[in-house]
Protein backbone atom coordinates (compact mmCIF):
# COMPACT_ATOMS: atom_id res chain seq x y z
CA UNK A 1 0.00 0.00 0.00
CA UNK A 2 1.31 3.46 -0.79
CA UNK A 3 2.17 5.65 2.14
CA UNK A 4 0.29 8.83 2.72
CA UNK A 5 1.67 11.27 0.18
CA UNK A 6 4.25 13.49 1.78
CA UNK A 7 4.43 17.03 0.54
CA UNK A 8 8.20 16.89 0.53
CA UNK A 9 8.13 13.77 -1.61
CA UNK A 10 5.97 15.29 -4.26
CA UNK A 11 7.78 17.32 -6.89
CA UNK A 12 4.49 18.95 -7.85
CA UNK A 13 4.40 20.59 -4.45
CA UNK A 14 7.38 22.74 -5.38
CA UNK A 15 6.72 26.44 -5.26
CA UNK A 16 9.21 27.16 -8.00
CA UNK A 17 7.85 27.71 -11.48
CA UNK A 18 7.87 24.83 -13.87
CA UNK A 19 10.97 24.57 -15.95
CA UNK A 20 12.33 22.05 -18.39
CA UNK A 21 13.93 19.16 -16.58
CA UNK A 22 17.68 19.23 -16.61
CA UNK A 23 17.81 15.57 -17.50
CA UNK A 24 15.80 13.89 -20.16
CA UNK A 25 16.16 11.08 -22.61
CA UNK A 26 17.92 8.14 -21.02
CA UNK A 27 17.12 9.18 -17.48
CA UNK A 28 13.44 9.58 -18.25
CA UNK A 29 13.47 6.16 -19.86
CA UNK A 30 15.08 4.82 -16.71
CA UNK A 31 12.45 6.45 -14.51
CA UNK A 32 9.63 5.09 -16.66
CA UNK A 33 11.12 1.62 -16.44
CA UNK A 34 11.36 1.95 -12.68
CA UNK A 35 7.76 3.14 -12.57
CA UNK A 36 6.86 -0.13 -14.26
CA UNK A 37 8.71 -2.03 -11.55
CA UNK A 38 11.89 -2.81 -13.47
CA UNK A 39 14.36 -3.85 -10.81
CA UNK A 40 17.43 -2.98 -12.87
CA UNK A 41 16.11 0.52 -13.50
CA UNK A 42 15.74 1.08 -9.76
CA UNK A 43 19.28 -0.10 -9.24
CA UNK A 44 20.64 2.08 -12.04
CA UNK A 45 18.92 5.14 -10.58
CA UNK A 46 20.41 4.36 -7.20
CA UNK A 47 23.88 3.86 -8.65
CA UNK A 48 23.65 7.13 -10.57
CA UNK A 49 22.87 9.20 -7.52
CA UNK A 50 24.07 7.37 -4.44
CA UNK A 51 27.47 9.08 -4.41
CA UNK A 52 25.97 12.55 -4.50
CA UNK A 53 23.23 11.57 -2.08
CA UNK A 54 25.78 10.22 0.34
CA UNK A 55 27.92 13.37 0.11
CA UNK A 56 25.04 15.73 0.77
CA UNK A 57 23.69 13.79 3.72
CA UNK A 58 27.06 12.86 5.19
CA UNK A 59 28.08 16.52 5.22
CA UNK A 60 24.95 17.41 7.12
CA UNK A 61 24.77 14.71 9.76
CA UNK A 62 27.45 13.82 12.26
CA UNK A 63 28.19 10.17 11.52
CA UNK A 64 28.36 7.58 8.75
CA UNK A 65 25.67 5.40 10.28
CA UNK A 66 23.10 8.19 10.37
CA UNK A 67 24.02 9.16 6.83
CA UNK A 68 23.60 5.61 5.59
CA UNK A 69 20.18 5.28 7.17
CA UNK A 70 19.03 8.63 5.84
CA UNK A 71 20.27 7.94 2.32
CA UNK A 72 18.45 4.63 2.32
CA UNK A 73 15.33 6.24 3.69
CA UNK A 74 15.58 8.98 1.06
CA UNK A 75 15.85 6.58 -1.84
CA UNK A 76 13.05 4.48 -0.45
CA UNK A 77 10.79 7.52 -0.32
CA UNK A 78 11.74 8.45 -3.85
CA UNK A 79 11.09 4.96 -5.17
CA UNK A 80 7.80 4.69 -3.31
CA UNK A 81 6.61 7.95 -4.83
CA UNK A 82 8.15 7.42 -8.24
CA UNK A 83 4.80 6.84 -9.92
CA UNK A 84 3.91 10.44 -9.06
CA UNK A 85 7.14 11.85 -10.48
CA UNK A 86 6.54 14.92 -12.61
CA UNK A 87 8.82 14.84 -15.61
CA UNK A 88 9.02 18.61 -15.85
CA UNK A 89 11.31 18.59 -12.81
CA UNK A 90 14.80 17.26 -12.51
CA UNK A 91 15.00 13.96 -10.69
CA UNK A 92 18.12 15.18 -8.86
CA UNK A 93 16.28 18.22 -7.49
CA UNK A 94 13.56 16.02 -6.10
CA UNK A 95 16.04 13.60 -4.57
CA UNK A 96 18.12 16.42 -3.07
CA UNK A 97 15.00 17.96 -1.62
CA UNK A 98 13.95 14.78 0.12
CA UNK A 99 17.45 14.09 1.40
CA UNK A 100 17.96 17.64 2.63
CA UNK A 101 14.64 17.64 4.45
CA UNK A 102 15.42 14.29 6.03
CA UNK A 103 18.82 15.53 7.17
CA UNK A 104 17.41 18.77 8.59
CA UNK A 105 14.67 16.87 10.41
CA UNK A 106 17.27 14.49 11.74
CA UNK A 107 19.41 17.35 13.04
CA UNK A 108 16.46 19.03 14.67
CA UNK A 109 15.36 15.82 16.35
CA UNK A 110 18.82 14.88 17.41
CA UNK A 111 19.92 17.95 19.31
CA UNK A 112 18.39 20.76 21.27
CA UNK A 113 17.80 23.86 19.26
CA UNK A 114 18.78 27.26 20.52
CA UNK A 115 16.55 29.78 18.92
CA UNK A 116 16.59 33.54 19.21
CA UNK A 117 13.24 33.95 17.53
CA UNK A 118 9.69 32.83 18.03
CA UNK A 119 9.40 29.04 18.36
CA UNK A 120 6.94 28.77 15.51
CA UNK A 121 9.13 30.66 13.12
CA UNK A 122 10.18 28.10 10.55
CA UNK A 123 13.64 29.35 9.85
CA UNK A 124 14.66 30.32 13.33
CA UNK A 125 18.27 31.38 13.46
CA UNK A 126 20.35 28.86 15.35
CA UNK A 127 23.89 28.52 16.45
CA UNK A 128 25.19 25.55 18.33
CA UNK A 129 28.74 25.25 19.50
CA UNK A 130 30.34 21.98 20.48
CA UNK A 131 32.67 22.98 23.29
CA UNK A 132 33.95 19.44 23.76
CA UNK A 133 35.10 18.97 20.19
CA UNK A 134 38.84 18.54 19.76
CA UNK A 135 40.85 21.58 18.79
CA UNK A 136 42.43 21.52 15.33
CA UNK A 137 46.07 20.55 15.14
CA UNK A 138 48.61 22.88 13.61
CA UNK A 139 49.11 20.67 10.62
CA UNK A 140 45.99 18.70 9.99
CA UNK A 141 45.80 15.61 7.90
CA UNK A 142 43.13 15.59 5.24
CA UNK A 143 40.88 13.32 7.25
CA UNK A 144 41.20 15.48 10.30
CA UNK A 145 40.40 18.56 8.28
CA UNK A 146 37.25 16.93 7.02
CA UNK A 147 36.24 16.06 10.56
CA UNK A 148 36.94 19.60 11.70
CA UNK A 149 35.00 21.18 8.88
CA UNK A 150 32.05 18.92 9.60
CA UNK A 151 32.23 19.80 13.26
CA UNK A 152 32.14 23.50 12.43
CA UNK A 153 29.32 23.00 9.94
CA UNK A 154 27.40 21.21 12.66
CA UNK A 155 27.47 24.36 14.76
CA UNK A 156 25.46 26.21 12.14
CA UNK A 157 21.72 26.25 11.98
CA UNK A 158 20.38 23.58 9.59
CA UNK A 159 19.11 26.10 7.05
CA UNK A 160 22.56 27.67 6.73
CA UNK A 161 24.22 24.29 6.85
CA UNK A 162 22.13 22.83 4.04
CA UNK A 163 22.62 25.81 1.73
CA UNK A 164 26.37 25.79 2.28
CA UNK A 165 26.57 22.08 1.53
CA UNK A 166 24.47 22.37 -1.62
CA UNK A 167 26.31 25.43 -2.92
CA UNK A 168 29.90 24.86 -1.82
CA UNK A 169 30.15 21.10 -1.90
CA UNK A 170 27.64 20.18 -4.58
CA UNK A 171 28.14 23.30 -6.68
CA UNK A 172 24.44 23.76 -7.30
CA UNK A 173 23.19 27.16 -8.51
CA UNK A 174 21.14 29.26 -6.12
CA UNK A 175 17.93 28.86 -8.13
CA UNK A 176 18.14 25.07 -7.92
CA UNK A 177 18.94 25.28 -4.21
CA UNK A 178 15.83 27.43 -3.85
CA UNK A 179 13.76 24.62 -5.35
CA UNK A 180 15.41 22.04 -3.15
CA UNK A 181 14.99 23.86 0.14
CA UNK A 182 11.62 25.33 -0.78
CA UNK A 183 12.68 28.95 -0.39
CA UNK A 184 12.96 31.93 -2.68
CA UNK A 185 16.10 32.73 -4.60
CA UNK A 186 16.63 35.87 -2.49
CA UNK A 187 16.34 33.87 0.74
CA UNK A 188 18.87 31.34 -0.51
CA UNK A 189 21.33 34.11 -1.34
CA UNK A 190 20.79 35.55 2.11
CA UNK A 191 21.41 32.20 3.76
CA UNK A 192 24.51 31.71 1.64
CA UNK A 193 25.81 35.15 2.59
CA UNK A 194 25.18 34.63 6.30
CA UNK A 195 26.25 30.99 6.21
CA UNK A 196 29.66 31.82 4.73
CA UNK A 197 30.21 34.53 7.28
CA UNK A 198 29.11 32.35 10.18
CA UNK A 199 31.25 29.47 8.98
CA UNK A 200 34.27 31.74 8.72
CA UNK A 201 33.73 33.06 12.24
CA UNK A 202 33.28 29.58 13.71
CA UNK A 203 36.27 28.27 11.78
CA UNK A 204 38.52 31.07 12.98
CA UNK A 205 37.21 30.73 16.54
CA UNK A 206 38.22 27.10 16.56
CA UNK A 207 41.66 28.04 15.32
CA UNK A 208 41.98 30.62 18.09
CA UNK A 209 40.82 28.10 20.69
CA UNK A 210 43.45 25.67 19.48
CA UNK A 211 46.12 28.33 19.79
CA UNK A 212 44.96 29.21 23.32
CA UNK A 213 44.11 25.67 24.35
CA UNK A 214 46.10 26.04 27.57
CA UNK A 215 43.66 28.72 28.67
CA UNK A 216 40.34 27.74 27.21
CA UNK A 217 37.53 30.18 27.59
CA UNK A 218 33.90 29.34 27.09
CA UNK A 219 32.62 30.65 23.82
CA UNK A 220 29.13 31.99 23.78
CA UNK A 221 27.26 31.49 20.55
CA UNK A 222 26.64 34.84 18.92
CA UNK A 223 23.10 36.06 18.89
CA UNK A 224 21.91 35.98 15.33
CA UNK A 225 19.04 38.02 14.03
CA UNK A 226 16.11 35.93 12.94
CA UNK A 227 15.94 35.15 9.30
CA UNK A 228 13.30 36.73 7.20
CA UNK A 229 15.08 39.95 6.44
CA UNK A 230 17.00 38.92 3.40
CA UNK A 231 18.96 41.54 1.61
CA UNK A 232 17.63 41.96 -1.86
Partner 1 sequence: MEQPLTCTQVRGELPLFVGADLELSALEALAEHLESCGACRVELAGLDGARRALRSVKDAPGPTTDAWPALRAELAGEGRLATVPRTSARRFATAAAAALLLAVGGVWVGSRLDQSDFFGPNPGGGLGTASGPGAPDAGARPSTGEGTASSVALRPVETGARLADRAVSFGAVSLASDPSAEAPGGGESIPTGPAGTLTGGASAASSAGHLILPPRIR
What residues line the site for partner 1 (CB under 8 A)? 36-39, 42-43, 46-47, 50-51, 54-55, 58-59, 64, 67-68, 71-72, 75-76, 79-80, 142, 145-146, 148-150, 153, 164, 167-169, 174, 189, 192-194, 196-197, 199-200, 203-204, 231
Choose between 19 and 52: whose C-beta lies nearer to partner 1: 52
- Please report how close the Cβ of residue 139 comes to partner 1 at its closest, in angstroms: 14
**Do residues 60 and 70 lie in contact, with contact meaning Cβ atoms separated by under 8 Å?**
no
Q: How far is CA 211 from CA 50, 106, 164, 207, 219, in A?
A: 39, 33, 27, 6, 14
Range list of H helices, 64-157? 64-80, 91-110, 142-153
Name the nearest CA neighbour of 60 among 108, 22, 23. Answer: 108
Integer Cα distance of 204 and 211 in angstroms: 11
Choose between 20 and 204: whose C-beta lies nearer to partner 1: 204
The number of beta carbons lying within 10 Å of the beta carbon of residue 192 is 18
Give me the DSSP letters along 131-165. TTSPPPPSS--HHHHHHHHHHHHTTB-HHHHHHHI
Choose between 112 and 177: whose C-beta lies nearer to partner 1: 177
- Please report how close the Cβ of residue 197 comes to partner 1 at its closest, in angstroms: 5
Choose between 120 and 141: whose C-beta lies nearer to partner 1: 141
The number of beta carbons lying within 10 Å of the beta carbon of residue 204 is 11
- Please report how close the Cβ of residue 119 comes to partner 1 at its closest, in angstroms: 28
Q: How far is CA 134 from CA 142, 147, 151, 200, 226, in A?
A: 15, 10, 9, 18, 29
- Please report how close the Cβ of residue 72 comes to partner 1 at its closest, in angstroms: 5
- Please report how close the Cβ of residue 168 comes to partner 1 at its closest, in angstroms: 5
Choose between 28 and 193: whose C-beta lies nearer to partner 1: 193
Choose between 31 and 153: whose C-beta lies nearer to partner 1: 153
- Please report how close the Cβ of residue 79 comes to partner 1 at its closest, in angstroms: 6
Amino acid sequence: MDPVPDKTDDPRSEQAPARPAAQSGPEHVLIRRAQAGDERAFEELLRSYEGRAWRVVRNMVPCDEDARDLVQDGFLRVFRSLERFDFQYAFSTWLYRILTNLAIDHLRRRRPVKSTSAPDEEDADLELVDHDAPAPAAAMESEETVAEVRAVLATLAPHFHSVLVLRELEGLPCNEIAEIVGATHVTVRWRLHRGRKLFQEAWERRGSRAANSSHPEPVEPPVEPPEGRPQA
